[in-house]
Structure 1
Amino acid sequence: MGPRWFQKKVVDPLLLILRRGAEPKQLAFSAALGITLGVFPICGVTVFLCGMAIGLLGSRCHAPTAMLANFIATPVELSLVVPFLRLGEVISGGSHFPLTSDALKKVLTGQASREVLQSIWHAVFGWLVAAPFILAMLHILFFPCFNILIRKFSTGPPSPKKTLSSPSEVRVKVRDA
Structure 2
Amino acid sequence: MSGARSWLRRHLLEPVLNQLRQGVSPEKIALTIALGLSLSVFPILGSTTLLCLLAGIAFKLNQPLIQIANYLGYPLQILLLLPFYRAGEWLGTPHLALSVPDLVARFKAGPWQFMLDFGLIALGGVGIWCLCAPLFVGLVYGVLLVTLRLLGRRVTAARSAPV
TM-score range, shorter chain: 0.7 to 0.9
Check whether the contact 1:21–1:156 (CA below 8 A) recurs between aligned residues: no
Corresponding residue number in structure 2 for 1:97: 96
Percent identical among aligned pairs is 27
How many Å separate the matches in 2 of 1:156 and 1:71?
A: 31
Corresponding residue number in structure 2 for 1:149: 151
Corresponding residue number in structure 2 for 1:70: 70
Cα distance change on mapping 1:146 and 1:113 into 2, 3 Å: same
Higher helix share: 2
Deviation, structure 1 residue 73: 1.2
Structure 1: segments with no counterpart, 5+ residues:
158-177
Cα distance change on mapping 1:102 and 1:71 into 2, 3 Å: closer
Cα distance change on mapping 1:72 and 1:101 into 2, 3 Å: closer
How many Å separate the matches in 2 of 1:62 and 1:98?
A: 40
Deviation, structure 1 residue 120: 1.4
Q: Of the candidates 29, 54, 75, which is equivalent to residue 31 of structure 2?
A: 29
Deviation, structure 1 residue 65: 2.8
Check whether the contact 1:35–1:73 (CA below 8 A) recurs between aligned residues: yes
SS at 1:97's partner residue?
coil
How many Å separate the matches in 2 of 1:63 and 1:52?
A: 10
> Over aligned residues, Cα RMSD in angstroms?
2.4
How many Å separate the matches in 1 of 2:109 and 2:159?
A: 58
Deviation track 1:97-121 (CA, whole Å, cap 9, x = no partner) reads: 2233442332553543332122111
For the pair shown, the structure with the greater C-alpha radius of gyration is 1
Check whether the contact 1:107–1:116 (CA below 8 A) recurs between aligned residues: no
TM-score (norm 2): 0.78
SS at 1:40's partner residue?
coil
TM-score (norm 1): 0.73
Cα distance change on mapping 1:51 and 1:65 into 2, 3 Å: same
Larger relative contact order (C-alpha < 8 A, sep ≥ 6)? Answer: 1
Structure 2: segments with no counterpart, 5+ residues:
none
